[in-house]
């Protein structure tokens, strides 16, 4: 089990240190800064940003900054989400906030699927 945890931590560190600074690297950094990285990602997927589990995604100012920083990647994720699930997620309220949450949560799901091999 310890070997798996070390492998998982190494994988997350590699994601966090990616030079392109994408959403996945942001998520990996957030997960590594939590007590239990896997539980953090699972909580983001299960409960969403609305729950407050992702501290960087609580305030409109932060979600708007996140949206602006990752706009092109969010557009790609939205397209991928639509193709995979067959629909676009419901946008409620603030557009930037909703799409930032969708991108963070969907990216957490994708990252969790990728790192499951280390569990």
Span 64-111, pLDDT tens digits? 999 999 999 999 999 998 888 888 877 888 999 999 999 999 999 999
Domain ranges for the chain, please list them: 2-118
Residue 97 contacts residue 64 (beta carbons within 8 Å): yes
Cα separation, 53 vs 42, whole angstroms: 10
**Cα–Cα distances in angstroms (integers) from residue 5 to residues 21, 22, 43, 110, in the given order:** 24, 24, 18, 19
Instruction: Please tell me whether residue 95 adopts helix, strand or coil conformation.
Output: helix
The pTM of this model reads 0.88
What does DSSP assign to residue 118?
G
Share of the chain above pLDDT 70, in %: 93
Phi and psi at residue 93, in whole multiples of 5°?
75, -130
> Residue 119's pLDDT is what?
66
> Residue 2's pLDDT is what?
42
> Residue 53's pLDDT is what?
96
> Residue 14's pLDDT is what?
85
pLDDT at residue 50 is higher than 50: yes
> Residue 3's pLDDT is what?
37
Mean of the per-residue pLDDT values for the chain?
89
pLDDT at residue 33 is higher than 80: yes
> Residue 92's pLDDT is what?
81
């Amino acid at each position: 089990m310890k070997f798996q945890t070390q492998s998982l931590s190494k994988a997350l560190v590699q994601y966090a240190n990616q030079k392109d600074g994408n959403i996945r690297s942001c998520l990996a950094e957030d997960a590594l800064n939590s007590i239990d990285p896997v539980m953090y990602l699972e909580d983001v997927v299960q409960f969403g940003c609305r729950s407050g589990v992702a501290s960087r995604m609580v305030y409109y100012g932060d979600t708007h900054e996140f949206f602006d920083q990752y706009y092109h990647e969010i557009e790609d994720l939205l397209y991928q989400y639509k193709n995979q699930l067959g629909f676009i997620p419901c946008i409620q309220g603030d557009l930037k906030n909703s799409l930032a949450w969708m991108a963070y949560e969907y990216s957490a799901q994708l990252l969790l699927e990728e790192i499951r091999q280390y569990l």
